[in-house]
Amino acid sequence: MSTPDFNLLVTLDAVLTEGSVARAARRLRLSPSAMSRALARLRETTGDPLLVRAGRGLVPTPRALELRERVSQLVQDAEAVLRPATTPDLKQLVRTFTLRTSDGFVENFGSDLISRVGAEAPGVRLRFVQKTNKESASLRDGTVDLETGVIGAAIGPEVRAQALFRDRFIGVVRMGHPLSRGKITPKRYASGRHINVSRRGLDQGPIDEALSPLGLQRTIVTVVGGFSTALTLARTTDLIASVPERHTGKLRAGMHSFPLPVPMPEITVSLLWHPRLHADPVHRWLRGCVRDICAAGPAASS
């Protein structure tokens, strides 16, 4: 099957809009003979005469009437695609962006991001949805505009990513907890009662793998799906929460935090988006807002 000549769409749009071969020729700056040849090609391609003689003028066929609005929209869309992107007027912009993040990200960075976006683009609304897995399907199908998280194997290879910040896991207990005083050794840490955080409901993780060579094992009292839930429990009990430091800065206010007594690799939290939005100037602006907010704080603390 031969590739259609998409230039014919522009000619067809002019013919259907003007309803006159002569006026269409003037609009397209074509000679009468060139216009006649173009019309002949259109009739051959569509299999329809498009314009037929009626007295001294021409009238559109039913097929021409059916195509008129569709062709006009196609030409407008094509012109928009080929037109260079312009700098958006953020003050006049009305748009909703959906961000897929963890609860901790919203609680620590959400208020600053909303304030920044509101100051620069009052008509922009941010919709935060919970991140329940690491798959990139929602970025691919367009239901999510931006996502934050640690890049995993489930992320599609086409997804764009940019590092936001590095983070490390720390231990957190309520003020007055025995671990809020004295040196934290691996044995002392492991002997406490722990909260494990796992979206999949697992009762062990990397911390347990780091303790195992030392012959130590944590007592997992409960398993929860998010860091904010773990900190809420630790704040009012003697349970120990182990959470990422920067991701939970505001949530840990009034609690005692300490470095884990076993070596744990740092994690990199990244900003993720689909390539089709990469060149969108408004999307680029929003990505810059997220990067700036994450670079500014909340600051890490021990």
Q: Greater confidence, 271 or 87? A: 271
Is the pLDDT score of 231 beyond 60? yes
Is the pLDDT score of 1 beyond 70? no
CA pair distance 263, 261, nearest whole angstrom: 7
Q: Which of 10-19, 138-147, 205-214 has the highest mean pLDDT?
A: 205-214
> What does the pLDDT read at residue 93?
92
Residue intervals in the chain for CATH 3.40.190.10: 90-167+268-296, 169-265
Residue intervals in the chain for CATH 1.10.10.10: 7-82
CA pair distance 223, 198, nearest whole angstrom: 7
| Range 133-161 average pLDDT | 82
Q: Greater confidence, 86 or 28? A: 28
Per-residue pLDDT tens over the stretch 183-202: 999 999 999 999 999 888 88
All residues at 6 or more sequence positions from 37 whose CB lies less than 8 Å from its CB, including other chains:
none
Q: Which CATH number fits domain 169-265: 3.80.10.10, 3.40.190.10, 3.40.50.620, 3.40.309.10?
A: 3.40.190.10
| Range 118-124 average pLDDT | 96
Q: Which long-range contacts (CB under 8 A, 24 or more apart) does 214-220 make?
A: 214/186, 214/187, 214/262, 216/186, 216/187, 216/190, 217/190, 218/190, 218/192, 218/194, 219/191, 219/192, 219/193, 219/194, 220/194, 220/195, 220/196
Is the pLDDT score of 290 beyond 50? yes
Is the pLDDT score of 163 beyond 80? yes
Q: Are 251 and 107 in contact (CB under 8 A)?
A: yes
Per-residue pLDDT tens over the stretch 65-96: 888 888 888 888 887 777 666 678 899 999 99
> In a 10 Å sphere around its CB, with 0-12 CB exposed, 13-18 middle and 19+ buried, how is residue 33 labelled?
exposed
CATH classification code of 90-167+268-296: 3.40.190.10
Confidence of residue 302 (pLDDT cuts 50, 70, 90): very low
Q: Greater confidence, 177 or 105? A: 177
pTM of the model: 0.65
All residues at 6 or more sequence positions from 228 whose CB lies less than 8 Å from its CB, including other chains:
103, 104, 107, 248, 251
Topology at the third CATH level for domain 7-82: Arc Repressor Mutant, subunit A (1.10.10)
Residue 245, phi then psi, degrees to nearest 5: -65, -55
The torsion defined by the Cα of 224, 229, 232 and 237, in degrees rounded to 10, comes to 0
